[in-house]
Amino acid sequence: MELKVSGKIKTICDVQTGTSSSGEWKKVTFVITNNDGYEGREQIFAFEIFGAEKVEDFIKYNKVDREVEVSYNIRTSEYQGKYYTSLAAWKVFGASAGETAPQPVGQSQEDKDLLPF
């Protein structure tokens, strides 16, 4: 099942980097908002993108206040008895006139191996 949501980029957080047993990793979190909530109330969605090339492409083609449509997966991982859920963006389209830029197209096994969970 493909999940999608449209909205305006509200925040692009600083890029995070680190190392794990599999090597170096890079990730960025970005937030979009829309007014699709109950009675037009604002909804907020925070997405993550993993992988150096994917992060660089996202930063290159996206800015705060850009209208986008995000395709994503919900991912839950367990680490030391705790559960972590994230929205993993794999495609970001400009919302106007089908505009698109080369964006993350998936998450490889290598990306998944870079985290401790």
**Domain chopping of the chain, boundaries:** 3-107
| pLDDT, average across residues 6-25 | 94
* pTM of the entire predicted model: 0.77
3-107 adopts what CATH topology?
OB fold (Dihydrolipoamide Acetyltransferase, E2P) (2.40.50)
Q: Which two tokens stand for residue 97?
A: 């006139």
Per-residue pLDDT band for 102 (boundaries 50, 70, 90) equals very low
* Cβ(32)–Cβ(9) below 8 Å: yes
Average model confidence (pLDDT) for the chain? 86
Of 27-31, 50-54, 106-110, the one with minimum mean pLDDT is 106-110
Share of the chain above pLDDT 90, in %: 70
| pLDDT, average across residues 79-91 | 95
> What residues contact residue 63 under an 8 Å CB cut-off, 6+ apart?
9, 12
- Rounded to a whole number of angstroms, the distance between the first and last alpha carbons of the chain is 24
